[in-house]
Amino acid sequence: MTRYIRRAAGFCLLLLLALLANAARVQLFEADELNTSSANRRTTIDRYGQPRGDILVGDEPVTGSKDTGEQLAYERTYRHGPLYAPVTGYASQTYGTTLLENAEDGVLSGTDPLLAPLPLWGDITRTRQPGGDVVTTIEDPVQRAAYEGLDGRHGAVAALDPGTGRVLALVSSPSYDPEVLSGTGPAVTGAWEQLNEAQSRPMLNRAIRQTYPPGSAFKIVTAAAALDTGVVTDPEAATDTPSPYVLPGTSTTLPDEARGCEKASLAEAIRVSCNTVMAHLGVEVGLEGMLDAVGRFGFNDDGLRIPSRVARSNFDSDMSDDQLAQSSIGQFDTTATPLQMAMVASAVANDGELRRPHLVDRVTTDDGGTVRRQDPDEYREAMSPVTARQLQRMMVDVVENGTGTNAAIDGVTVGGKTGTAQHGIDNSATPYAWFIAWAQAPDSDRPAVAVAVVVEDAAADRADVSGGGNAAPIARAVMEAALEG
């Protein structure tokens, strides 16, 4: 019997070996696949198991975290939700993340390897680093001036520091409080549906995700192209443009709303905003030249990130001359985000050098040690310095003597350009009011702020919608706030 007992014991040993081999299969070889399965809730539980890092404006966090005591412990809170929603985005346990919350999620949730004191440290100790903080370039007074300037009207403001590319303000209106989306449950899904169904589209980030026809504000780009390509050598010299102007190859005439545009010089055309002159110059520069010029300002770039993704601003690459003429005055298929138009003003203000716009100044660990810093970085050479200086003078002339007088600030050099973009079928919809500008303090050697404002208020009286009337005062408030800062 002894032999059989030994064999039975051997059989039990086989069972043990099978168990051990199977344990190794599950816990070692298949572990990675199982750990990353979308149905495995552990990833989510770990993610919300610690407070999320904060997004800071200056020294002040504009976000927070609260412990709910539920399985997904920590939920996002926002100090000034609607004011900063276009900057932060939301961080929802139900709907994921957007904007900065999305772009810097690794840092905020503590998974970014930069945060670990030693490489692979987290893998060994199985501890997640505390969430790091993201310090933005936003300046609170500038942001508030823009938000209060829009005052609930539909529109957006983007403000940049021309010398560095720092985004000083990013406002979209109407806005929403992202905190209502933070958690889980019917309250959150209800809020989500309500926000998505709202006519005013409060979750749309109009400053970087919505494109508008830029209208006359685009004439700065066309002017830069005309000067850089040598189509215009003297901005004060008369051009041979008739008014009204017959679009090339068609019998359609393009009228001017301004007076004195017949054969007007480039400077005059910018000051009073002549459609005819600028459309004509655009055609003279030609499609190739215009495409080259708009590209250097950032149009047609669908990879721009600040680090939130910025929608592509469009200038068609295949057009007939009549379409090119309309495109050159910011109509037809030409569209731009408010940030893109702020970049146009910024390039002029910074002597033609366009800095890469960025929203994050630096990223720190939770105890304040800087792990990553964004230094000023050249994005593109938008135009020659000579062209830029000529355009600066023309834009100053707009504010001092032209359509943009509402943006003037006492004792400050301000350059600007209005735009009133027609859109809709037969241009029947309420036009968008644009204003782009930059400002230089008297004691400074370079402009400190460039701004773009768009107001799309459908409720306003159509006659009142104009860049100079609706948008310029907001731009002035934003620039004043920036110059004081």
Q: Which residues bind other proteins (CB under 8 A)?
A: 1-9, 11-13, 15-16, 18-20, 22-24, 26-28, 30-31, 33-35, 37-42, 45, 126
Residue 363 pairs with which residues in a beta bridge?
A: 134, 372
Closest to other proteins by CB, 121 or 386: 121
Closest to other proteins by CB, 9 or 458: 9
Q: β-pairing, 96-97 with 91-92?
A: antiparallel
Instruction: Specify burial of residue 373 (Cβ count, 10 A radius: 0-12, 13-18, 19+).
Output: exposed
Query: Count of alpha carbons within 13 Å of 102, Cβ hemisphere only?
Result: 16
Q: How far is the CB of 116 from other proteins (least distance, A)?
A: 18
Q: How far is the CB of 282 from other proteins (least distance, A)?
A: 54
Can you point out the beta strands (E) in 51-162?
Answer: 55-57, 60-61, 63-67, 74-78, 91-92, 96-97, 133-136, 155-160
Q: How far is the CB of 125 from other proteins (least distance, A)?
A: 10
Looking at residue 475, its amino acid is A
Q: How far is the CB of 250 from other proteins (least distance, A)?
A: 56
Q: How far is the CB of 28 from other proteins (least distance, A)?
A: 6
Map residue 22 onto helix, strand or coil. Answer: helix
Give me the residue label for tokens 């051997």.
10
Cis amide prior to 357 (ω within 30 degrees): no
Closest to other proteins by CB, 4 or 251: 4
Contact between 175 and 202 under an 8 Å Cβ cutoff? The reply is: yes
Map residue 450 onto helix, strand or coil. Answer: strand
Distance of alpha carbon 179 from alpha carbon 199, whole angstroms = 20
Q: β-pairing, 360-364 with 370-373?
A: antiparallel
Closest to other proteins by CB, 40 or 320: 40
Q: How far is the CB of 124 from other proteins (least distance, A)?
A: 9
Contacts of 431 (CB under 8 A, 6+ apart): 215, 420, 421, 422, 423, 462, 465, 466
What residues are annotated to the active site?
216
Angle between helices 219-228 and 385-401 (to 10 degrees): 140
Cis amide prior to 431 (ω within 30 degrees): no
Contact between 457 and 153 under an 8 Å Cβ cutoff? The reply is: yes
Closest to other proteins by CB, 125 or 427: 125
Distance of alpha carbon 98 from alpha carbon 103, whole angstroms = 7
DSSP conformation class of 427: G
Distance of alpha carbon 452 from alpha carbon 170, whole angstroms = 10
Closest to other proteins by CB, 14 or 458: 14
Closest to other proteins by CB, 18 or 237: 18
Contact between 169 and 158 under an 8 Å Cβ cutoff? The reply is: yes
Closest to other proteins by CB, 102 or 111: 111
Q: How far is the CB of 133 from other proteins (least distance, A)?
A: 25
Q: How far is the CB of 4 from other proteins (least distance, A)?
A: 4
